[in-house]
């Protein structure tokens, strides 16, 4: 009985092979962005790399977190806590990066962890509303309070309010795109559920080039959720787990040593 249930659950899940490629791409694009922004001399004129290649990283990280939180992990909140731990470790070297202002900002891991926790809350409340004859007042109250938390936290985290919205909107879009049937109504509804992700992505940057790369990355992820994920083969070289967990704080520590080295 358990084997049958497990097989049925596995069949309901989309293929996650693309995330193996996504891990390598996310680390490479993020590192390219940070090296060109903080390490290379301004005279080299490498700002184009951050405004193009570097704009792939954030929507890709958010997409993988949303995908695993929705399809692959049994406990999304524990997953969010692991991301938060990485953020806590990375915060000190992150604060040592040269910035145009002295404003205190929490790094992207806080954005991703909060976004996943918020998306999980909204997903559970929506599921309860779909199955229960009447809404649970506690769930509705939590949703209302969560928007207040989003408004406050958006002033403190990297990518701000738009960044916090990305994972919940990804989860909404992925859910509908993956489960959409063949009827026009279902496919149209799934397409409409995907639109908010693209709209928010378009507001996350200022230049046309940066907007194009961010929106283009989101569009590719939505196509994967719509069924293209099954066409992606497994990655030949799987990223070591320790490298994946350590790279974010470690690369900031290395950059901080370079830019703050005496002389």
Give tens-digit pLDDT for 42-76: 878 888 898 899 999 999 999 999 999 999 999 99
**pLDDT higher than 50, residue 4:** no
**pLDDT higher than 60, residue 206:** yes
- Top pLDDT among 116 and 39 is at 116
pLDDT at 203: 94
pLDDT at 263: 61
Percent of residues, the chain, with pLDDT higher than 70: 95
- In sequence order, what E strands does the chain have? none
- Top pLDDT among 262 and 175 is at 175
Averaged pLDDT score across all residues of the chain: 90
Tell me the domain boundaries of the chain.
Answer: 16-255
| Predicted structure pTM score | 0.91
Q: Quick one: tokens of 214?
A: 């961010």
* Vertex 122 angle, CA 83 and 110, to 5°: 25
- Three-state secondary structure string covering 154-167: CCCECCHHHHHHHH
Long-range contacts of 90-95 (CB under 8 A, 24+ apart): 90/248, 90/249, 90/252, 93/249, 93/252, 93/253, 93/255, 93/256, 94/252
pLDDT at 87: 97
- Kindly state the average pLDDT of the residues 93-119: 92
Residues 109, 84: contact at Cβ < 8 Å?
yes
**pLDDT higher than 60, residue 5:** no
pLDDT at 11: 45
- Top pLDDT among 170 and 187 is at 170
Of 32, 26, 87, 23, give the one whose Cα is nearest residue 58: 26
- Kindly state the average pLDDT of the residues 207-216: 94
- 221-238 pLDDT, tens digit per residue, is 999 999 999 999 999 999
**pLDDT higher than 80, residue 205:** yes
* Vertex 220 angle, CA 194 and 161, to 5°: 55
- 137-177 pLDDT, tens digit per residue, is 888 888 899 999 999 999 999 999 999 999 999 999 999 99
By CB atoms closer than 10 A (0-12, 13-18, 19+), residue 221 is buried
Residues 185, 29: contact at Cβ < 8 Å?
no
- Top pLDDT among 20 and 262 is at 20
**pLDDT higher than 70, residue 2:** no
């Amino acid at each position: 009985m358990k084997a049958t249930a497990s097989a049925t659950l596995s069949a309901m899940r989309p293929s996650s092979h693309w995330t193996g490629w996504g891990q390598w791409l996310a680390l490479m694009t993020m590192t390219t962005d940070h090296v060109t922004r903080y390490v290379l001399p301004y005279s080299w004129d490498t700002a184009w790399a951050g405004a193009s290649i570097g704009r792939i990283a954030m929507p890709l990280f958010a997409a993988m977190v949303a995908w695993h939180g929705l399809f692959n992990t049994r406990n999304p909140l524990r997953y969010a806590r692991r991301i938060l731990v990485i953020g806590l470790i990375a915060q000190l070297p992150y604060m040592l990066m040269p910035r145009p202002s002295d404003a205190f900002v929490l790094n992207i891991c806080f954005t991703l962890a909060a976004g996943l926790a918020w998306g999980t809350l909204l997903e559970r409340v929506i599921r309860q509303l779909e199955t229960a004859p009447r809404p649970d007042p506690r769930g509705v109250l939590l949703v209302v309070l969560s928007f207040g938390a989003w408004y406050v936290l958006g002033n403190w985290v990297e990518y701000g309010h738009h960044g916090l919205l990305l994972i919940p909107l990804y989860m909404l879009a992925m859910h509908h795109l993956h489960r959409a049937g063949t009827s026009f109504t279902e496919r149209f509804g799934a397409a409409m559920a995907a639109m908010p992700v693209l709209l928010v992505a378009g507001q996350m940057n200022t230049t046309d080039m940066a907007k194009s790369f961010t929106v283009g990355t989101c569009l590719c992820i939505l196509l994967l959720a719509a069924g293209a994920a099954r066409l992606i083969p497994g990655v030949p070289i799987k990223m070591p787990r320790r490298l994946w967990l350590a790279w974010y704080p470690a690369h900031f520590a290395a950059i901080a040593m370079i830019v703050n080295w005496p002389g």
